[in-house]
């Protein structure tokens, strides 16, 4: 790697990292990763298609689910190309501009997904507390505004990061810790003072993932209070059952991030392959699992899928 003596910014090149110690078998190791990516794209694409074409699914819960599927597709589109280049073409090099662009889109779609999960928690609270006025409290116009606000927040919180990176000096050749370009990784490679970048990155995380996770927990405290006020035990279970799918995807979204954060606090250089694996799980598991969870738990989604298959069989015959 180049030293900081020949530091630059716009002409810097970054080397993506595969699985340390498994270079000879990286093609085989990458097969399940690529299969997960393709399955995620297909699964989320099917969810989007079903919700768009089935009027029975034009309810707030499923419209928020379509936003979640769209953010998952965006995340896959942000990470899949460099994964293919690295594992199948052996192309490790990524110019500064492409790396900064990938960093922006990865973090932006992550913040969008976090915001949608918060909106879904609020949706579940409204559905349980005031089911009779559920549709009037969350009309399509309100959901469109919520979606626009989530997207605007993700863009505004992530826009300073690539701009501030351009003021830093990097070695002409630097090796990243993962097979993606992440903000903390890039800042750690800089040769100049990075306190502004680190501070802006911290504020960005606190105003997105930190705020959203806190409000999701608050939403579930309010949901639990509302459910406990229901007299009939059967109705309590029915109300709680409507939250199971959302709780599953909240854990699927936040737990890999927590694991990666803990690994970064530890001596990650002692476990380089584990760090790369956690980075992949961090971005691959939520898009892969979200459609599966909702297909298993949502009767309407299953009925929509069955209806499409039956129509296809009739058309073929």
> What Rg, from alpha-carbon coordinates, does the chain have?
22
CB 188 within 8 A of CB 201: no
Q: How confident is the model at residue 86 (pLDDT cuts 50, 70, 90)?
A: confident
Q: How many CB atoms lie within 10 A of CB 82?
A: 21
Average the pLDDT over each of 107-116, 152-161, 240-249, 298-307 and give the range with the smallest value.
298-307
Q: How confident is the model at residue 109 (pLDDT cuts 50, 70, 90)?
A: very high
Three-state DSSP at 94 gives strand
Nearest to 87 by CA among 79, 75, 99: 79
Determine the distance from the C-alpha atom of residue 12 to the mean position of all C-alpha atoms in its chain, rounded to a whole number.
28
Three-state DSSP at 182 gives coil
Q: Regarding the domain with residue range 4-316, which homologous superfamily does it belong to in the CATH classification?
A: Rhodopsin 7-helix transmembrane proteins (1.20.1070.10)
Three-state DSSP at 227 gives helix
**First vs last C-alpha separation in the chain:** 62
Q: Regarding beta strands 173-175 and 13-15, do their DSSP bridges make them parallel or antiparallel, or are they unpaired?
A: parallel
Nearest to 187 by CA among 207, 164, 203, 208: 164
**Predicted confidence (pLDDT) per residue in 185-198, tens digit:** 899 888 888 999 99
């Amino acid at each position: 790697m180049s030293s900081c003596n020949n530091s630059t910014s716009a002409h810097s090149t970054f080397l993506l990292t595969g699985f340390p110690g498994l270079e000879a078998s990286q093609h085989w190791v990458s097969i399940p990763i690529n299969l997960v990516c393709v399955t995620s794209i297909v699964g989320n694409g099917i969810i989007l298609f079903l919700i768009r074409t089935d009027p029975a699914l034009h309810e707030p819960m499923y419209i928020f689910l379509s936003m979640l599927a769209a953010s998952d597709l965006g995340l896959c589109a942000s990470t899949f190309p460099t994964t293919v280049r690295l594992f199948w073409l052996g192309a490790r090099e990524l110019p500064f501009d492409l790396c900064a662009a990938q960093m922006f889109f990865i973090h932006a779609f992550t913040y969008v997904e976090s915001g949608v999960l918060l909106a879904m928690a609020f949706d579940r609270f409204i559905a349980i507390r005031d089911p009779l006025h559920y549709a009037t409290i969350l009309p399509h116009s309100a959901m469109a505004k919520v979606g626009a606000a989530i997207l605007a927040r993700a863009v505004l919180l992530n826009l300073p990061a690539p701009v501030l990176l351009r003021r830093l000096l990097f070695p002409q050749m630097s090796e990243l810790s993962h097979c993606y370009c992440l903000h903390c990784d890039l800042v750690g490679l800089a040769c100049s003072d990075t306190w502004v970048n680190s501070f802006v990155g911290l504020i960005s995380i606190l105003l997105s993932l930190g705020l959203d996770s806190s409000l999701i927990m608050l939403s579930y405290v309010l949901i639990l209070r509302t459910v406990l006020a229901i007299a009939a035990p059967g109705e309590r279970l029915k109300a709680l059952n409507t939250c199971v799918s959302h709780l599953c995807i909240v854990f699927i979204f936040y737990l890999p991030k927590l694991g990666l954060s803990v690994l970064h606090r530890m001596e990650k250089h002692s476990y380089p392959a584990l760090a790369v694996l956690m980075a992949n799980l961090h971005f691959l598991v939520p898009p892969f699992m979200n459609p599966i969870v909702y297909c298993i738990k949502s009767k309407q989604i299953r009925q929509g899928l069955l209806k499409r298959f039956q129509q296809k069989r009739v058309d073929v015959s």
